[in-house]
Structure formats: structure tokens, C-alpha cells
Structure 1
Amino acid sequence: MKFYHLIILVLFIVSCQSETKQKLGHTISLKPESIKKGKAIFEQKCSHCHNFKQDAIGPNLRGLTRRVETSWIKQFIKNPLQMVADNDSRATQLLETYKIPMPGFKDLSETNLDALLSYIHKQENQKLKNNNSLDVIKETIKDTLQYSHLVAELEFVAQAPATTQKPILARLNKLDCAGSSGRIFINDMRGSLYELRDKKVEPYLSLIDYNPDFIHEPGLGAGFSSFAFHPDFQENGLFYTAHSEPKLSKPSDFSLPDSIPAKIQWVVKEWKTKTPNKNIFKGDSRELLRIDFVGFMHGIQEMGFNPVTTKDESDYGMLYIGVGDGGGVIKGYPQVAQHGGSQIWGTILRIDPMGNNSKNGAYGIPPENPFVKQALLKGEIWSYGLRNPTRFSWDLYGRLFASDIGHKIMEEVNLIDSGQFYGWPIREGNFALNPNGNQSLAYALPDNDADYGATYPIFQYNQKDGVAISGGFFARGEKFRGKYIFGDIPTGSLYIGDLFEAKQRNLKKLKVSIHGKPTTMSKLTKSSRVDLRFGQDCDGNIYLLTKSDGKIYKIKENLIP
């Protein structure tokens, strides 16, 4: 009898364990109205980092609610950093794997949390198939980057106004010289353009006051992303901005192909002030172009003028615009970026803002652009095959460089040439991808790689050293002369690249110090997510911007005394 009872007890325990496992997510509602509401929340707050097909910035969420306790998921969504601080094993493992700490959503009500989980729970557990017959490369770069013997000594410059509370105090995105004026401007993606004067961040223009449809949610790339002052700003008062608006706000100049649904629009505007010397903008604006995007991420993140060209050269006054793929590839629309120049997404545009031979008549298409005379291609395109071009910089020879944020394999810096294809979505770094499968998997380049015509990065690093490249600038001073200094957005790591050493394209990490004491950007910001950006003033000094605390630093001794 005892043996019989033991068997019954074991079967009961196993049954209970199995039942507990099956019950994961059993309290989650699958009512259609809850799923519909949850989908809207997911697309606004989660879709830029997560999907249900493959790992992205964050993990694939398909089947999550059937693997993890509902209470844990809710707690993690509310305050993931606190769970890491409390040494929760699952939260810690997620941070170690994906490197980027997830922002908390304390503002989500219990009702909205339940709706969000309803939508996630609706997605069935499914493993994405590998559609490439080649072997997956598990380790793209074996060794981590070494540190340079050089150290960047930082000087605190200014504190930006807070536009919300932590974890992102001020969404500082760019610092740049205002053309011929010698002035320095900075933007906050929540809608403000500031001037840096006497180590103070002073308001100059609020985009919200002039654009009633302006939005800066769901965060990350949305909002007031970039600006560029015309080289002759001091004389003509012209500058340009890029910002996001809701889908269908106005008819777009570039609509998505094949009935692909749009989620957001990006708008490029020209601003003209009659008083360029004034500290507050007063003037008019006009729209140059408007583009539909399939997702909230990878919009128009950068624009700029070549600062070293002269008035007698054809590149003078030409506006370069970085257009991302809108997340189209990871959302299952690889044709958005895989187009050979026939579409506008995943490109760098080059336009003449003072011309009028574009289709909408609001800007000009320069005659030396590579695809001007090809009827089926977009004349605005200067180069293509870029996933998310986030920062431009020109060296003293007038060569254009662009950083490109990768998906999961490589972060890139590319030397941009007219008409060149930079690989996305069939390449990331020096590796092949399957654009119709799991883009998180890397493959060796095929034997006939030259047939694809891809141009590869001059610098690249993988996720052993960083997660999302910020882009940077070429130093002009004695200490770092000619070297490209840039960094990684979430981790705050700094890098220094040298194109002219005997070992070509040498890339190393760059140490930082402040007041003569070694430190890191994470320590300075007291945050595990630094949100680092770079800027350069009219004299060539390089600046660091940290969104997490809204501070501005300058790298000292950059210029020749």
C-alpha cells in the first residue's frame, strides 16, 4: 500500500507541475476589444524594439506569456531597471544578452497593461525558420576592441533644460555649427531648438508652436530629429529641420509601395529668419518634402551641408538627408529597402533646397546626382543600402562619412560615394543576411559577392563592444588630428578610428577622464543607458551629449592652441 501511495503522490506532483506550467497566462483576457487596444499600445510603445518574428533590439516576444509568469512580465514592463538592481536572474540575463536596458513604463495603467498582454498572448509560439542553406556564423568578431593609449579629457559645458523626468531627461540629439554665423545650436527631440551661448542652453525655436501635428512619441527616433543651417545662414537666414507627424497628416511626396501600411510621416522643412543675428527665431517656414514610413523607427535621423566645400564647387549648399528603412525589413517588407535606387527608403538623399525641379516643385534635384537620368530610379538619391543612417561628418578633404545602426550583427561607419550600394538588407558589415528570414543570423559572403556590388564599412564593431552606433566627427587638433571619434548610443562607449596608420582602418576604444580622473560615460550619467550623441562646433571642437541627464561635455585639447 505504501508503494502504491508513493506512486499516486508522484503522479499527483507531476500533474500539478504540468498543470501549473499550462496555466501560465491563463488569467490573460483574449477578448477582441482588449486585443485591439493592446495592439495599439504595442505599436506605439514596444514595436521599435520587439516583434513576433525574431530577436531585434530586444527579444522576440512570440509565446512570452506562455513561458513567463504574468506577474513577472507586468513588473518588468513597469520597472526593469529596478529588477536588475534587485538581482532578478531573468532581468539580469536579459540585460547581459541584449546590452540595452529596457525603459520602464510606469505610466501604463493596470487596464492598459492587461490589454498589452492580451495582444502579446494572442501571438502563437513559433520558431522562425532559417531559410539560408549556408552555415550560420556564430562569432562574427572573436576579439573585443583594445583601448587606445590616448585619453579624451572632458570638460563639462552646460546643462540642458529638462523636458521630462528620468530616465531620459532631455532628448538631445545633435549639436552643430550654424553655417557662417559661428554660432552653436542643439536640438531636443521633444521639439526645441536651442542655442549654446556662454555655456548656457537658451531657447531659439519651438517646432511645436509652428507644427500642430508634431509628435515625439513613441520615443526613440520620433520627434525633432535633426537640423542643418545653410552655409550662408548669416546672410540668407535659412536653416532646415526634420520632424515626425502622424500618418496621413497630409498627402506625402513618397508613399509606400504595394499598399504597405504607413505608421508615421517624416517632414523636412525650410525656415527663414529676416534677423539671423537675433537670439529668438522670428520668420516663416515652408515644407520641402514629406515621406511615409512603415514603422516609427529608422525615419529621417540626419541632415547636413558639406562644411568644407566652397562657393565655386557644385556641392556648395546641397542638403544631404539620411532616410532610414522605417523598420520595413524586420516587419516583413524587405522590398522597402531592397530596391536598387527605385525607392526612397534606406538612402542618403542630396537635394538643392533652393531649386524647384523636383516633382512637387519645392526643391531641386542636382544634375550631378547619380540617378538623375534613369527614369525608374529616384533622382534625389545620392547612395543607398543603409538601414538607419544616423550621423554625417565630412573630413577636411570633403569626403562624406555616415554611421549606420545595424540590426544585430554589425555597427558601421561608411565612406559615402555617389551611387554606391552599402549592402542593407542583404549585407550587414562584412556578412551576408537573408532579408526574407531571420536578419539576426550572419553568413559568410558568397563566392560571387562582387556581383552584388556592395560597398563595405571602413569601421565596424559587433555587440561585444556596443549595440547602436552614434556616429562622430574627425578631430582637427594636435592630440587627435585626423582621427574619427565616435561612440555607442546605449553603452556610452567611445571609439577612435585611424584611416592613415600603417594598419589601415585601425579601430580602438577611447578612454575618458574628467578633472584628470578616469571615468566612463555610464558613471558620469549614473545610468546603465547613457544615450550618447556627438556634436562639433564651428572651430572643430567635439562635444558629447547625454540624453539620460541632459548634459553637454567638450573634449578638451582637441584644437591646436
Structure 2
Amino acid sequence: MLAFGRKFKQHLTNVRKMTKLKTLLWLGVPLVLMGVGFSSCKGSPEEGASKEKADLDQEYVRGEMPVQHGMELFNQYCASCHNFSENGIGPNLSGVTAEVDKEWLKTFIHNPVEVIESGDTRAVALFEKYQQYMPPFPMIEGEDLEDILGFIHKFSEGEKRNKNNRAGGLINPVADKIPTSDLGLELQAQFTVPASAEVTPITRINKMAATANDRLFLHDLRGKLYEVKNDGDLSVYLDLTETLPDFVDHPGKGTGFGSWAFHPDFEQNGLFYTTHNEPPGTATADFPVPDSVRSSLQAIITEWKADDPQALNFSGSHRELLRADMVSGGHGFQELTFNPLAKPGTADYGMLYLGIGDGGAALGGYPFLCDNNGSIWGSVIRIDPAGNNSANGQYGIPTDNPFVDQAGAVGEIWARGFRNPHRISWDEGGSGKMLITNIGQHSLEEVNLGKAGADYGWPQREGTFLFDVDANPELVYPLPDDDATAAYTYPVVQYDHDEGNAVSGGFVYNGQLPLLRGKYIFGDISRGTLFYSEIADMIEGQQAPVYRLQVLFDGQPSDLETITQNKRVDLRLGTDQAGELYVLTKSNGTVYKVVDCRGVEDPVVQ
């Protein structure tokens, strides 16, 4: 990436010397003649007929990481001149991959003058419009070229959904890059979880946390809940596949044994809770989708009661608390947790929180399922497992929930407006702040302060920007002038997809490493990048500064992509009984402990 950037800058310097044209500030320069701003140019023999979307999707790279890399290159060199909704310095690129052949695009990028002088209809027409030859860019090749074209194809196809003809989409909504801190985290491998598959990811480890009585547990989405011993040995405490006959762990990256939470009084009452998935229609849902909407999965909360809470392996009983239909295999039930700061006798003690994604409803054609208080999807719910005033009589709805007295509202909802509220944690070091991470669509990743009754905006907002389900779903747009009237609660931390793909929620560190105390440590699932913000800076209505943490392994600068030898790291974070921080990587099934944090004089640019 950096080598590519250096080659490009040197090439661009040479171009400027030759042409003395300020307009050649584009990587998009060769792409400018690929735009579809001139419909009269359609139909030249070398272009061919417009292809079906399925065929095009096979031609262009579609993977999350390659397309993301293509977007980085596009944002760095093209976005000042090109977009997917209107002509600018260069033409609108919407639909270009459907209207010209992929090989034509490659040829033009490598030698545009030759294509123009060959008499190509499109190239000649656009040259007449712009009145200048474009320089060849032969150094854009291989994966870089494939990734840029894959990105253009994805966003171009997205513009076809723009029913509202909304203009002004932002490809790079957060222009400032996240600075690299001089702090480095020393990681030390602790143990590797037994493989639950023969191909990557060999495990699907998802959460590691301690109980109130200082036992440490970790689970694999494929069904097993492990107890972690002091020496790193693992023992299976519960295997859902042996107890729940309809359990499934596909389709979807989050399908299976989603989350778990031990009751704060587990040592006495033996109660803990899990979420898992089953096929659609397995049982009657407490929260069904309408008859006109197809359900792809069901998500379930189960209560388990151990006969002996001190036993090394679970034996006991279980009962179902709640079941909901899901439109797709993504964005389902997420973090299941109790407030660790709640004390016996207080209103929040024993109340169970669950983050529920939109289930893919917003972009699946059913935004009405996740844009109001009358639907459970896209929310954080709060229930009382010991109560019975729910519609099914299996749990309670706390009387202090914010919408409990609102006609037509789901009383279980504590806050709403989330696409995928992936992780929930509290600062146990003094501020007591509740932090909810929300995975965005294709533009923004969020860290939010939890607040009862708040609306965090989805599907009308993504980060601090407007999102429109009837516009290009790959883009966000500037906020409207009357935004204040909407009363949305915006994130206190956000980053865009130049920096990552999906936020992995973390923790405010309160362990023994002094340089980390008071910092909210979080990361990016796909790339494995680690970040921090100061908890003191995380104030409603403001954007807290974000810093990139360096990674040290065996005493040397490294990164998790290198350590795991996988481009998709699948990062998760966990803590132990002492509040120390752990890094979990699904791609190799390994758990690493943060054993030190120290200053690094020369930050490694990532």
C-alpha cells in the first residue's frame, strides 16, 4: 500500500511536469473517461451489452477486505474528482461496470491515449468533453487494480438503489486519519482453543469474561462454553449442541451460540443465560415478523439453572425466555449482559440487557421493522428474568423501562436506533458510563454512551451522518439543516471505513498497567486494529479523539494480521477477574494477554 502510494506520487509529479495541468490530481484521471455521464456513448462494439448483476458480481472482487482496500485507494486518490451520484471534475461513475467491459476499463487505465486514438466511441466522446489526454497509469496493476474496480462496481451497483435520486453522498465522511499513538501493547499468547472446524476460522471464539465469583469463561459460536483455568487449560462447561436439538450455527458470521451472561448471584442461585439460533419456524416466536416478511432464523434467550453452581460441568435444567424471528442471518442477538455496577436492592440489579440488531431488515426492504418503538429489532432490551409480566409470562418487563407506559411500544426496549449493537460494557473505574458499540453499514463505526430511552438513529442515521434506505446504501450524506428537531443521540466515538470495517467493542481498562488506565480500549473486527479513547473525553454531544495503538509481539513491532497470518483477523476483546485485557482472534483460535503497555519512540505507520 505504502509502496504503491510512493510510486503513484512520483508518477504524478512526472505527469505534472509534462502537462502542467492542475486537473491531474486524480488517480481518477484515467477513470474519468470511464464515467457514464454521457449516455450517447453507449453501444460501441468494444463495450458490449449491459450485463446482468449476477454475472458482473462474478467478474469483480466482492470480498470485504479487497473492496475495502479498493475504497482506501479511491478515497486517497479519486474521491476529490469522482463520486457515484453526479458529475464533478470527473464524471459520475454510477453504472460504469455494467456499461463497459472490465478489460476495456483495465486497458484504458493502462493506456488511455491509445484507446482514445483507436477511435473508441466512449473514449472519444469523453475526450471531446474534457479536451485533454490522460496519462497512462501502468503501475496500477494486479490486486490494486482489481480492488479499485471491485470497489467501483460495489458502489456503482449501490447507486442503482437510489430511488430518491439523493445527491451529495460522502465516500470518505471522516477525512482526518486516526493518528498512531506512541503507546504499544505487548501481547503474549496464552492458549489456543480446540478447533471446531477444519477450515478458517478454525474456531469462532466470541466472548471471554469473568463471573462475579471470579471464574473465567469463553465460548465458541459453534456451541461450546469453556471454563478457563489459571494454567490456560480449558474444560467444556456446557455444549449447547448436546442439549438443544434445533441449534444451528449457520448461515451468517454471527449465527450459533451468540452470547452468555452469568447472573451476579450465580454462586447462590446457579442461574445463567445464553442466546442461540434455530431454523425459522422451529417454534412460535414471541416477536414474529409479519406474514409478508420471510424469516431466515430464530434467535432465543435461554435460562439455565445449575444443580451445583460450583461444579466443573453443567448439570441442571433450562427454560426458554424469549424467541424472535430474524429477517436474515446477520445482525441478530448480540451482547447478553448484566450491569456489573448494580448492587443488590437497586433497580438495575439482576436486570438482563441484550443488544438486538436489525436482522438485515433495513436494507432487506423492511425498514419499518427497525425504525420505531413498536418493534424489537434494532434495539437494546432490558428484562427481568425473575419476573412474569411479559406477554408470554416467562420474564418480567421492568416498570422503570422508558417505553413501558407508551401505547404501541415494546416495553422491553431500553434504547433503540441500532443497526448492530455488538457489545455493551460499563466503566467500572469510577464514571459508571455504559458503552454500546454499533457496527455500521458501509461508512461509520460507532461507540455510544448508553442512555435509557435514547434513539441512536438507525436506519435514518449512520454515525453523525444521514443514511437513506432509499438512496445508495454504500454512502452517507450530510445532516439536514433541521437535524436538531429529530432528537437523535449521536456516538461519542466514530471512525469510517478508511480505518476499519466493523467495530469490536471493548472495555475501559482498570487493571495494573498504569499507561492504560482510564482508556476505553476497542478495535476493528476485520483488520484487528486496536484503538483507544479516553473515557473522560467521551461526553454526549462531542466526538472524543481516537488513537491507534501499536502492537508488540515477542518484543518487536507487529500487527495482528501478521501474528495470525490472516488478512481477516476476526478480533474480539475480553477481560479476566483482575480486569486485565485479552485479545481473541477467531482466525487462529488464539487468546493473547496484554502483558505490558509502554511508550514506543517511533510509531509504526499502519
Q: State if a TM-score over 0.5 links the two structures.
A: yes
Matched residue, 1:493: 529
Letter in 2 for 1:360: N
* Counterpart Cα distance in 1 of 2:317 and 2:559: 43
Matched residue, 1:185: 217
How far off is 1:214 after superposition?
0.6
Query: Which segments of structure 1 move beyond 3 Å, counting only runs of 4 or more?
Result: 17-25, 46-49, 60-69, 86-99, 501-504
Matched residue, 2:595: 556
Matched residue, 1:249: 282
- Structure 2-normalised TM-score? 0.73
* Counterpart Cα distance in 2 of 1:289 and 1:66: 51
* Mapped pair 1:461 → 2:461: no
Contact 1:174 1:226 in 2 (8 A): yes
For residue 137 of structure 1, the aligned residue among 170, 187, 197 is 170
Letter in 1 for 2:533: G
**Alpha-carbon spacing, 1:270–1:555, altered in 2? closer, same or farther (3 Å):** same
How far off is 1:88 after superposition?
5.1
Letter in 1 for 2:472: N
| 3-state SS of 1:310 partner | coil
Corresponding residue pairs, total: 476
| Equivalences for residues 389-400 of structure 1 within 5 A | 389-396=421-428, 397-400=431-434
How far off is 1:375 after superposition?
2.5
* Mapped pair 1:224 → 2:228: no
For residue 529 of structure 1, the aligned residue among 568, 577, 587 is 568
How far off is 1:542 after superposition?
1.2
* Mapped pair 1:195 → 2:231: no
* Counterpart Cα distance in 1 of 2:268 and 2:196: 32
How far off is 1:255 after superposition?
0.9
How far off is 1:435 after superposition?
2.2
**Alpha-carbon spacing, 1:538–1:67, altered in 2? closer, same or farther (3 Å):** farther
Question: Which protein shows a greater Rg?
Answer: 2
* Mapped pair 1:415 → 2:449: yes
Letter in 1 for 2:414: W
How far off is 1:132 after superposition?
5.3
Matched residue, 1:290: 323
Q: What are the ranges of 5 or more consecutive residues in structure 2 without an aligned counterpart?
A: 1-43, 56-61, 66-70, 72-93, 104-140, 598-606
Mean CA deviation greater in 90-99 or 247-256: 90-99
How far off is 1:258 after superposition?
6.1
- Structure 1-normalised TM-score? 0.79
Deviation digits for residues 488-533 of structure 1, max 9, x if unmatched?
0010000011132599712111111122211101011001110001
**Alpha-carbon spacing, 1:370–1:24, altered in 2? closer, same or farther (3 Å):** closer
| Equivalences for residues 19-418 of structure 1 within 5 A | 21=48, 87=142, 91-93=146-148, 127-129=160-162, 131=164, 133=166, 135-178=168-211, 180-197=212-229, 198-257=231-290, 259-339=292-372, 341-396=373-428, 397-418=431-452
Matched residue, 2:508: 474
Letter in 2 for 1:424: W
Deviation digits for residues 144-194 of structure 1, max 9, x if unmatched?
10011211111211110001123201000111112x220111110011111
| 3-state SS of 2:218 partner | strand
How far off is 1:439 after superposition?
2.5
* Counterpart Cα distance in 1 of 2:178 and 2:496: 10
Letter in 2 for 1:547: K
How far off is 1:440 after superposition?
2.0
Mean CA deviation greater in 548-557 or 391-400: 391-400
* Counterpart Cα distance in 1 of 2:195 and 2:153: 28
| 3-state SS of 1:165 partner | coil
Cα-Cα RMSD = 3.2
Contact 2:47 2:101 in 1 (8 A): no
**Alpha-carbon spacing, 1:130–1:232, altered in 2? closer, same or farther (3 Å):** same
How far off is 1:309 after superposition?
1.6
Q: What are the ranges of 5 or more consecutive residues in structure 1 without an aligned counterpart?
A: 1-16, 29-45, 50-54, 70-85, 100-123
* Counterpart Cα distance in 1 of 2:100 and 2:47: 11
**Alpha-carbon spacing, 1:500–1:399, altered in 2? closer, same or farther (3 Å):** closer
